[in-house]
Structure 1
Amino acid sequence: MPAFNVTLKSGASPSELESAKKKVTDEGGKIINEFTLIKGFTAEFPADAVHTLETNDHVTVEADSEVKTQ
């Protein structure tokens, strides 16, 4: 399963993040990392079901990828 980063948008309540976590597990996904500096998490989630997370107006969903520095 591909991994996605899910972060809480500015002004959204913490309960919205909990709702997104529940959606991930209900849809067969697995939370693999929770962030401490920002409100969010990384989850392995079926690619064909990610649209259910993307429709949540309170979170941002991005494909997880490797970041490199020069």
Structure 2
Amino acid sequence: MAAKSFIVTLKDHVADVDISSVKKSFTQLGGEITHEFSLIKGFTVKVPEAGIDSVKEKHSDAIANIEEDKEVSIKK
């Protein structure tokens, strides 16, 4: 299955060591961190979609949201 890009948003209370643990779980699935945000605790990751649920369950105390990273537009 092809990898997709996802935005991972973490809860405000998450410590840096826990952020590293979440990232490591994604890279162990063959994922690649493609961008890290500076204003919020979060990052984008390119990873096979099949692994998303297992990481979300494992780190449910740290992850606030995971959503597919895709283009958004406003049409009139």
Q: In the superposition, relative to structure 1, how do residues 36 and 48 fare at CA in structure 2: closer, same or farther (>3 Å)?
A: same
Larger Rg: 2
Whole-angstrom distance in 2 between the partners of 1:25 and 1:11: 22
RMSD across aligned positions (CA): 1.5
Please identify, of 54-63 and 36-45, the stretch whose mean Cα deviation from structure 2 is larger: 54-63
What's 1:16 paired with?
A: 18
Matched, 1:65 2:67: no
TM-score, normalization by structure 2: 0.79
1:1-70 → structure 2 map (5 Å cutoff): 1-55=3-57, 56-57=59-60, 58-59=62-63, 60-69=65-74
Retained in 2: the 8 A contact 1:31–1:44?
Answer: yes
- List runs of 5+ in structure 2 lacking aligned partners: none
Higher strand share: 2
Q: Following TM superposition, where does structure 1 have runs of at least 4 consecutive aligned residues deviating by more than 4 angstroms?
A: none
- Over residues 15-65 of structure 1, what are the superposed CA-to-partner deviations in whole Å (9 max), with x where a residue is unaligned? 221111101111101111111111111000111111122112211211112
The residue type paired with residue 34 of structure 2 is: I
TM-score, normalization by structure 1: 0.84
Question: In the comparison of the two structures, how many residue pairs are matched?
Answer: 70
